[in-house]
Amino acid sequence: MLRRVFVSGVSWTYLALVYAFIFLPVAVLVLFSFQDGRLPVPPFNGFSMQWYEAVFADRKLMAALSNSMLVAISSSVVSCVLGFLAAYSLARYKLPGSALQRGLLIAPMTVSYLIIALGLLALLNALHMPLSLLTVGIGHVVINLPLCFAIIYASMGDHQINIERAARDLGASDFKVMALVTAPMLMPSILAAFFLSVTFSWDEFIIAFLLSRFDVTLPVEIWSMLRSGLNPKTNAIGSLVFLASVALLLILEFSLFGRTKKQ
């Protein structure tokens, strides 16, 4: 009896420690974003919303926020469309060297973001293409396309082949089969790929830093704020970013995984 209490006590403590390890930094970040004082370090002086007010009053931060959203959403849409088309062709047609092509499509996942950013920087220089949000977006497509391809490709099973055949048999052209049958059938995994890709792009720093110039994304803006020292304002913006990620995750969970469970 005592032994059981002891064992279960140890397991619960272990669980609590694991979650504390994962979430303590975030909890501290969020807590000190409400700091009533100039430094986001203990002791906690009291509750205040002043840093959130400061964040929303900061034009540059707000611009960076909307830049981030623009880049995240548009690069994710492009990644999903390209990933879907690649997955569809590799899953449905016999292509020369299809195993090699699959490998090549997924390979960028194994390359570090820094290397990809350096490579793109060199390439853009050679092409005389000025750095802008567009180039950041291109960089994010490069890192997110493999992910989108892998997720969508994995969800393309053989049982959908007959459904596509049926559509073709009923008179649908190849494009209509793809647009009206395949894509809607795969919508859960396409959306999963989209939201994951949005969160990755939203958080991404190195590529965004190296490939942008005047208009920057939020992580880059936060970084430049950090250079002038710790400030509860950075905590506040960090908390907002965290909140956005959590919201996205919840949307994903309830809209998508909830639906697939029901089916």
Partner 1 sequence: MTAPVSIENVSKTFGHFTALDKVSLDIRAGEFIVLLGPSGCGKTTLLSILGGFLSPSSGRVVIGDRDMTFVTPAKRPTTTMFQDYALFPHMRLVDNVGFGLRMRGLGKAERDEKALGFLDLVGLKASAGKRPHELSGGQRQRVALARALAVDPEVLLLDEPLGALDLKLRRQMQDELKAIQKRVGTTFVHVTHDQEEAMAIADRIVVMNQGRIEDFGPPSQIYMRPRSLFSAGFMGEVNFVPGRVKAANASSAEVETSLGSLALPAANFTAAVPKAGDVITLTIRPEHFRGEDKSDDPMFALGDARVAGSAFFGTHYRCHLQPCATDGDALVAHLPQSSDVRDGEIVPLAVRAADVVALPAASGTL
> In the complex, which residues of this chain contact partner 1 (CB under 8 A)?
159, 162-163, 165-173, 176, 180-181, 184-185, 187, 263
Q: Which is nearer to partner 1, 42 or 184 (CB)?
A: 184
Smallest separation (angstroms) from partner 1 to the CB of 172: 5
Query: b vs e for 57-82, b when ≥16 Cβ sit within 10 Å of the residue's Cβ?
Result: ebeebeebbebbbebbbbbbebbbeb
Smallest separation (angstroms) from partner 1 to the CB of 163: 5
Please say whether the beta carbons of 149 and 86 come within 8 A: yes
Smallest separation (angstroms) from partner 1 to the CB of 93: 15
Cβ-proximal residues to 222 (8 Å cutoff; 6+ apart), any chain: 64, 234, 237, 238
Q: Which is nearer to partner 1, 91 or 143 (CB)?
A: 91
Smallest separation (angstroms) from partner 1 to the CB of 257: 16
- The pair of three-digit structure tokens given for residue 150, joined into one six-digit string: 């892998």
Smallest separation (angstroms) from partner 1 to the CB of 176: 7
Q: Which is nearer to partner 1, 73 or 185 (CB)?
A: 185
d(CA 135, CA 75): 10
Q: Which DSSP helix (H) or strand (E) runs through 34?
A: none
Q: Which is nearer to partner 1, 25 or 184 (CB)?
A: 184
Q: Which is nearer to partner 1, 227 or 262 (CB)?
A: 262
Give, to the nearest 10 degrees, the angle between helix 59-92 and helix 98-106: 170
Half-sphere exposure of 123 (CA within 13 A, CB side): 10
Smallest separation (angstroms) from partner 1 to the CB of 255: 14
Q: Which is nearer to partner 1, 88 or 113 (CB)?
A: 88
Cis peptide before 232 (omega within 30 of 0): no
